Amino acid sequence: MSFILITAGENLPTVPMLADVLVAALGLDRSTAALTARRCWGILGTGLDEAAADALAAHCAGFGVAAKKIQADALPTLPAPNHAKKVILENGQAIFSLPGGRIAAVSPGEISVLAAAPIKEEFTKTIKTTEGPSGGERAARLGIMVVTGLPIGMGKSKEVKKEIKSSELSFYMDIILRDGAERLRFTSGDFDFSGLKEKKIYSSQMNFRVMAAELAAFAPTAFKNAFLLAMLGGKPLTLLPYDSLADLEKETTHLLLARRG
């Protein structure tokens, strides 16, 4: 039988605290331990035998980090997200509009986890342009015509394909329902924030913040991730290392395990 060791509770310990644990438990150098601590999202070890899990838990206790040992077969697989396009909070329910005209009416107690993150997405698009001969080519052809008197022309235009790379920062929100039975998701860039009514403004990212706060107040018992807690607390957001949706999903998995515990 194998085990997982996670940090207990909703709030993640600080990176220095977790780095201390990893240095002592695994013999890592300080920089490697700090990097590992930043990216573990509360999941300290997986696939551990019982002795190794207990030893790691003992190191956690020694540094004041609360931890929980969980059987590996309890590790949840997050369901594929259903992309919500709108939510209205009324009459004690969150009413989500989903693709295909479907509606999901959710009570506060059905929301297990709320997890938000900023994700920088890279885009590449190909554009076609028409370019004529360069200035040097035109000058050379003109010189030949002057010398030879032959009408050779200035050259033909040609179609050129160019790849343009750009990036965009989007805010993602995952809503985990009924202890992991369903996952809803919306993003700042393609969400209808009209459910905010008079609170809605013209910035999608600011509307996202307001909607996140509304959902957090609606479901006070839901576990909330580090980014959402920082957002609600007015704390700096730039230090949280979300490189991709994989970071958000790992953190959400930890919260789901911690809440079950």
Name which of 229, 243, 244 is nearest 12 in CA terms.
229
What is the pTM (predicted TM-score) of this model?
Answer: 0.81
Q: Which residue has the higher pLDDT, 154 or 235?
A: 235
Query: Per-residue pLDDT averaged across 10-20, rounded?
Result: 94
198 versus 147: the higher-pLDDT residue is 198
Of 108, 80, 105, nearest in space to 181 by CA: 80
> How confident is the model over 54-91, as pLDDT tens digits?
999 999 999 999 999 999 988 889 999 999 999 999 99
Angle at 200 between CA 198 and CA 206, to 5 degrees: 145
Beta pairing, strands 82-83 & 182-187: parallel
Beta-bridge partner residues of 160? 129
Edge-to-edge strands, sheet with 158-177:
82-83, 182-187, 158-177, 111-131, 223-224
Higher confidence at residue 239 or residue 4? Answer: 4
Cα 126 from Cα 143, distance rounded (Å): 36
Beta carbons of 222 and 112 less than 8 angstroms apart: yes
CA 157 – CA 177 distance, rounded (Å)? 58
- Domains of the chain (ranges; CATH) run 3-74 (3.30.1390), 82-123+165-260 (no CATH), 124-163 (no CATH)
Region class of 249: left (phi > 0), else alpha (psi between -120 and 50), else beta: alpha
pLDDT at residue 237 is higher than 80: no
Residue-wise pLDDT tens digits, 95-110: 999 999 999 999 999 9
What is residue 19's predicted lDDT score, i.e. its pLDDT? 96
User: What is the pLDDT at residue 12?
Assistant: 93
